[in-house]
Chain A
């Protein structure tokens, strides 16, 4: 799943992800709110995304706010999901907050690339 509001970046992420062979079923939500709504309504474990690429800067609900609300999703959904934060930020505080969040597997600086995805799973 991609939680990202920039159309161009969504295009890039999709290309890179399918090139890396990671997945071909990629959903996209432009705000944290819409992503959470979708997740909270899931009923089957097979529908839960294995990996979420989460942007920081988005309108309405940003990446960090998403993470705060994510905690309130049912355990069975949260267990299946790995979250990777993806952002162009160079702000030291944001980087620390992203890396320190208990739900975040890793922080990847944009742009996403096949190499960076490979590194993720090493």
Chain B
């Protein structure tokens, strides 16, 4: 064993076999000298030079880790104390004397972690500036690092999905209950002032619901891949209008679909396209001109390498000064605050996810035109 090897003391948890521990550190032959500490006597019998890194996983004589750390530092003040525990937080561990906290599930990676720390010279304090890290220490290679990060990322993404799923369910369920009760109440009470109050309550709840839906849509857009299938615009729009009937006040809106293709079939991501159209149509209805019925014109043109989708309305229009900002998160124009402020932001993000682009033109009191461009991959319809 080289004189440059690092002395590693391990206080194993009760029941851990010494052989198992030694086996875990075998890849590091020569780099570490292992000392297994079972009792505090063994600890005090070590010399300062031998006490560099202390890994505390448990004790056989009920010594607390705090006590063990204290004793170990008496032997060597520059000791690096690693605590293996699932019962502490990093904050409580470090403030009580540990240098690093590791979960029990990470124990397998200890050799790699120590190797990484040594490369950064964490352990050599001012007393040993020349004792450089030995080159034959195990280095977490790029592949391992990537694998580890990938697993972590997958875990985080999975948890995010579950969180959004749970949140949307647990937030929406009480909402739909209240909406149901309001509906019953509205039919039971005589017409008059109280009906108005109920309508206001319903409006508030629907607004809250819109925000929840938008958050779920946003999360979904981020997290799922684009999936292309053969689509027709008419049924998509009909489905949207059916759903909007429940959400918006029942203002009749005329939606014309003009498809410049013979068979009207085009490749696209159904859910994302629906999200985009639903937001644009519901905005067109919400910001209708008070003096006329809302008319929404949807055109689809298929070119050699892209799809043009144009959504035009005859509503209130958008002031030039707002035009740039309407796609921003939570941006709302003046007092028309029925939405969540996320709608157009989600539209733009969704289109981006499909590698497309969106532009808007508008004239106040005349109407607004949204021009969406989506790339096509030749004539191929790719189903996933």
Contacts and interface: CB of A to CB of B under 8 A. Distances in A.
Is B truly associated with A?
yes
Interface of A: 6, 8-9, 12, 15-16, 19, 57, 88-92, 109-113
Interface of B: 165, 168-169, 172-173, 175-177, 179-181, 183-184, 187, 212-213, 216, 220, 246, 271
B177 A8 contact: yes
24 contacts: A6-B177, A9-B177, A12-B180, A12-B181, A12-B184, A16-B183, A16-B184, A57-B169, A57-B173, A88-B173, A89-B168, A89-B172, A90-B168, A90-B212, A90-B213, A90-B216, A91-B165, A91-B168, A110-B173, A110-B179, A111-B179, A111-B180, A113-B180, A113-B183
Contact of B271 (A19, A92, A109): A92
Given A90-B213, A91-B168, A111 B177 contact: yes
Contacts, number: 53
A45 B212 CA distance: 44
Contact of A6 (B165, B173, B175, B184): B173
A9 B216 contact: no
Given A8-B181, A89-B169, A109-B176, 18 more contacts: A9-B177, A9-B180, A12-B180, A19-B187, A57-B173, A88-B169, A88-B175, A89-B168, A90-B168, A91-B165, A91-B169, A92-B271, A109-B246, A110-B173, A110-B179, A111-B176, A111-B177, A113-B183
Contacts of B177: 6, 8-9, 12, 110-111
Given A12-B181, A16-B184, A88 B176 contact: yes
A16 B176 CA distance: 14
A110 B168 contact: no
B216 A110 contact: no
Contacts of B212: 90
B208 to A, nearest CB: 13
A57 to B, nearest CB: 6
B172 A88 contact: yes
A88 B183 CA distance: 16
A16 B172 CA distance: 20
A89 B170 CA distance: 10
Contacts of B246: 109
B363 to A, nearest CB: 35
Contacts of A109: 176, 246
Nearest to B170: A57
Contacts of A112: 180
Nearest to B164: A91
A30 to B, nearest CB: 15
A103 to B, nearest CB: 23
Nearest to A12: B180
A92 B220 contact: yes
Nearest to A7: B177
B183 A111 contact: yes
A100 to B, nearest CB: 14
Contacts of A15: 184
Name the residue among A8, A110, A111 with the largest chain B CB count within 10 angstroms.
A111
Nearest to A56: B169
A94 to B, nearest CB: 9
Contacts of A111: 176-177, 179-181, 183
Question: Which 4 pairs across A and B sit closest by C-beta, in order of nearness?
Answer: A111-B180, A110-B176, A12-B180, A88-B176
Name the residue among B173, B176, B179, B216 with the largest chain A CB count within 10 angstroms.
B176
A8 to B, nearest CB: 5
B55 to A, nearest CB: 43
A76 B181 CA distance: 37
Nearest to A9: B177
A112 B180 CA distance: 7
B184 to A, nearest CB: 5
Contacts of A90: 168, 172, 212-213, 216
A89 B173 CA distance: 8
A15 B172 CA distance: 21
A104 B212 CA distance: 27
Contacts of B271: 92
B118 to A, nearest CB: 47
